[in-house]
Amino acid sequence: MKRIRRVLLAMVAALVLASCSPATSDGTGPHITVFGPYRGIEAERFAASFSVFEERTGIDVRYTGTASLASELQERLDTENPPDVAIVPQPAVAQALADEGRTAPLSAPTLAAIEANYDTTLAETMVVLQGVIYRTSVKSLVWYPPSAFADRGYSVPSSWASMLDLTRQLEDEGHQPWCFSIEAFDATGWVATDWIEDIVLRTASVETYESWVAGDLSFDSPEIRRAFEILKEIIHVPNRVLGGTSRALSVSWTDAGDPMLEEAPRCFLHRQASFYLSSVPGDIEIADDLFVFVLPLIEEPDESQLPPLVLGADTAVAFDVRPEVDQFMEFLATPESGLAWARSGGYLSPHATFDLDDYGPDLANNFDRVLGELVIRAETKVLDASDRMPPPIGTGTFWRGMEHFVRTGDIDASIAIIESGREP
């Protein structure tokens, strides 16, 4: 937290010198414009969450949601018509905007709110991004069918070794244990990047993980290469993955777990993020038909320790330094900013100070609470690596290299494809 405190002191000095521009020029009162990816019911729940801010401050928040956020935001920046605040789903976008000097620095009150409401790793990451993580998802989950497990006497694995033991037991009983597919149109490959990220976090230190994200550690380093070797034990052992390579490359990632939900499951383990739930049929009951465990530790497992979590993040960045913009960013850095949405369902708070009782009471929202408890309990939390790497790698050659790895199992060639994305 020393870095945050240094930045806080600098920001206090800057605020003393900053001038305040008028909020509006049309006499309608103070307002801010917010641009983001939330549409439909998500936009309604987001609006309900910031209504308390509007009532308290008298600042009108004018939100626009779009399915093409990256391209439309770039167009607005190119025409010098940025929104006051944008909420971007990939931290790499926030990082690139900060590196280019496009975004406004975080105010001292916002930095103080970040320090008070987030764990250290996420807080330090936000200082670098010059943004506020508003909503999160959990990547490090393995989905399984509890009823089928109970009927067959299977236990939820508590270590990587016991997970492999269960995998072999399923194979011995004539099953193909793992549900796995990566097809995602232009984004094919990202599912496999998540696997690599989780394995790196379980075989190396957080410092190693962050060095890898920053580009100081190549994919050809022993630490990262080992993750490929471990993943190969899952996806390239014959009959270990349902349908093998052919299904993995042809079936949409949203449908990968469907055979697990059948009355007689055809696969039993499916590593996928918390947002997989949105692809599940509505008649599936959480905790009976489908539930999760955290992908286990690989080395020196400790059953009392929750394994580390890789998180996805929606990050808010500001493009103006007006006081009302700073106030809104500070608000987003508090657990109150997601309260109404959490009570309605579909929101997972990144705030370490979020009250678990504020997740809604019905079944779907209780699952939100299960996830929220994981986020709060986990001592180690990092943001998704590919989402933070420079786009030519993170959403480019990393995806393509993982598609090649799934197709061939060739570690050398796959790493060479990924490394080709680095600037000369």
Whether 153 is in a domain gets the answer yes
Whether 233 is in a domain gets the answer yes
Domain check: are 166 and 265 in the same one? yes
- Please give the pLDDT value at position 2: 46
Span 93-123, pLDDT tens digits: 999 999 999 999 999 999 999 999 999 989 9
Domain check: are 233 and 358 in the same one? no
The residues near 274 (Cβ < 8 Å, ≥ 6 apart) are: 137, 138, 139, 141, 292, 348, 371
- Return d(Cα 166, Cα 164) in angstroms, integer: 5
CB 98 within 8 A of CB 128: yes
The domain tally of the chain equals 2
- Please give the pLDDT value at position 27: 47
Mean pLDDT of 246-250: 97
Is residue 153 over pLDDT 70?
Answer: yes
Is residue 12 over pLDDT 50?
Answer: no
Whether 327 is in a domain gets the answer yes
- Helix, strand or coil for residue 381? strand
Domain check: are 192 and 299 in the same one? yes
Whether 128 is in a domain gets the answer yes
Domain check: are 268 and 394 in the same one? yes
- Return d(Cα 352, Cα 227) in angstroms, integer: 29
The CATH number given to whatever domain includes residue 74 is 3.40.190.10
Q: How many helices (H) does the chain have, and how many strands (E)?
A: 19, 9
Domain with 344, as residue range(s), is: 2-20+28-135+314-376
Domain check: are 199 and 338 in the same one? no
Span 315-347, pLDDT tens digits: 999 999 999 999 999 999 999 999 999 999 899
Question: For 342-349, which contacts have Cβ atoms below 8 Å and span 24 or more sequence positions?
Answer: 342/368, 342/372, 344/45, 344/48, 346/41, 346/42, 346/45, 347/45, 347/49, 347/135, 348/135, 348/136, 348/137, 348/138, 348/274, 348/372, 348/375, 349/135, 349/136, 349/375
Whether 424 is in a domain gets the answer no
Domain check: are 288 and 365 in the same one? no
Strands 31-36, 85-88: pairing kind = parallel
Domain check: are 285 and 260 in the same one? yes
> Measured between alpha carbons, how far apart are the two ends of the chain, in Å?
35
Q: Which band of pLDDT confidence, cut at 50, 70 and 90, is reported for residue 7?
A: very low
Domain check: are 96 and 205 in the same one? no
Tell me the average pLDDT of the chain.
91
- Please give the pLDDT value at position 300: 72
Domain check: are 229 and 327 in the same one? no
Q: 252 has which bridge partners?
A: 183
Domain check: are 152 and 50 in the same one? no
Whether 246 is in a domain gets the answer yes
Domain check: are 363 and 283 in the same one? no
Span 270-294, pLDDT tens digits: 999 999 998 998 888 888 999 999 9
Name the E strands within 217-347. 270-271, 291-294, 309-318
Is residue 39 over pLDDT 70?
Answer: yes
Is residue 377 over pLDDT 50?
Answer: yes
Domain check: are 275 and 404 in the same one? yes
Residues in the chain: 424
Q: Which band of pLDDT confidence, cut at 50, 70 and 90, is reported for residue 361?
A: confident
The pTM assigned to this predicted structure is 0.89
